[in-house]
């Protein structure tokens, strides 16, 4: 079976690692990016140089019009979409007393509503009810959803809690239509989202001390778990939340 994967936020971090490793496993890969066109094109070139098929597609995953366009373009370039990884995401650090409604609306627009609309577009194409051949979807949540996040991250954690609830409900809805949907909950991982803070040795030591495995994760460790959830090796698993977090963390 031809495997065609869309990765939102695929130009950096966990999404980029997933794109590279998916191509190595024979997926055709559509790499969505918002601002990182050079990074996205570099990954496409890397994949093509190894004989794979990939395309870089711009799109703001907080925009319904961009999402609809991105799915149509991916399909036109690579064929029917069989797999989706929703990795696009942003974080904010703000105490509740300082919440700003526009900032909250934006983080929910990207992390939750955009992800849900990507799932809608994927379901329309994958569902055996509407002529599709089924498929698999992984939503990138966070271990923050389980504990409310570290200090200042309650809004971010709330978006990821919404991702987990949605994943469960969506998975049940489409389970008999050939679509599996799972979420992965990474712990602190070195990526563009976290590297600036992790460069502070005191911050990093505090984080590592709070994790049972006493280290932060790497993008490839999350990517491998995502690829397992996408693969036939997890064929009886849907509606699951897989923690990839070194054992979680203690606040």
Ligand X SMILES: NC(=O)c1ccc[n+]([C@@H]2O[C@H](COP(=O)([O-])OP(=O)(O)OC[C@H]3O[C@@H](n4cnc5c(N)ncnc54)[C@H](OP(=O)(O)O)[C@@H]3O)[C@@H](O)[C@H]2O)c1
Active-site amino acid positions: 156
Instruction: For residue 33, give both structure tokens.
Output: 């990016």
Of residues 197, 196, 187, 182, the one with CA closest to residue 219: 187
**191 binding ligand X? (CB under 6 A):** yes
Q: Which of 89, 135, 149, 161 is close enough to bind ligand X by CB under 6 A? A: 89
Which of 5, 6, 7, 15 forms a contact with ligand X (CB under 6 A)?
A: 15
Kindly tell me which residue out of 188, 211, 226, 242 binds ligand X, with binding defined by CB under 6 A.
Answer: 188
| Shortest spacing between CB 82 and ligand X, in angstroms | 21
Is residue 132 a contact point for ligand X (CB under 6 A)? no
Determine how many CB atoms are found less than 10 A away from the CB of residue 131.
10
Assign 57 to helix, strand or coil.
Answer: strand
Which two three-digit tokens encode residue 132?
Answer: 């599709």
Among 61, 158, 211, 229, binds ligand X (CB under 6 A): 61
**Nearest distance from C-beta of residue 66 to ligand X, angstroms:** 8
Contacts to ligand X from residues 17-36, by CB under 6 A: 32-36
Give the bridge partners for 185, in sequence order: 243
User: Could you tell me which stretch among 125-133, 166-174, 186-194, 233-241 binds ligand X (CB under 6 A)?
Assistant: 186-194
Residues in the chain: 251
Among left, alpha and beta (phi > 0; psi -120 to 50; other), residue 13 is: left
Burial of 170 by CB count in 10 Å (0-12 exposed, 13-18 middle, 19+ buried)? buried
8-state DSSP, 26: T
Residue 189 makes contact with ligand X by CB under 6 A: yes
Q: Which residues bind ligand X (CB under 6 A)?
A: 8-9, 11-15, 32-36, 60-62, 87-91, 110, 140, 142, 186, 188-189, 191-194
């Amino acid at each position: 079976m031809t495997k065609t994967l869309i990765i939102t936020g695929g130009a950096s971090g966990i999404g980029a690692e997933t794109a590279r490793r998916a191509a190595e496993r024979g997926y055709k890969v559509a790499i969505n990016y918002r601002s990182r066109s050079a990074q996205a094109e570099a990954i496409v070139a890397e994949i093509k140089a190894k004989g794979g098929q990939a395309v870089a597609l711009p799109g703001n995953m907080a925009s319904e019009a961009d999402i609809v366009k991105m799915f149509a373009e991916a399909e036109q370039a690579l064929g029917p979409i069989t797999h989706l990884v929703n990795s696009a995401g942003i974080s904010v650090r703000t105490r509740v007393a300082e919440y700003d409604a526009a900032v909250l609306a934006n983080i929910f627009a990207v992390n939750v509503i955009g992800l849900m609309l990507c799932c809608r577009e994927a379901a329309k194409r994958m569902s055996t009810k509407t002529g599709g051949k089924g498929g698999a979807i992984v939503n990138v949540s966070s271990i923050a959803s389980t504990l409310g996040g570290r200090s200042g991250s309650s809004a971010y954690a709330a978006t990821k809690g919404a991702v987990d609830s949605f994943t469960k409900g969506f998975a049940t809805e489409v389970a008999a239509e050939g679509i599996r949907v799972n979420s992965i909950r990474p712990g602190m991982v070195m990526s563009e989202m976290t590297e600036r803070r992790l460069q502070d040795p005191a911050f990093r030591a505090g984080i590592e001390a709070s994790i049972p495995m006493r280290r932060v994760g790497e993008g490839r460790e999350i990517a491998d778990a995502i690829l397992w959830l996408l693969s036939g090796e997890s064929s009886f698993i849907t509606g699951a939340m897989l923690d990839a977090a070194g054992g979680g963390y203690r606040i």
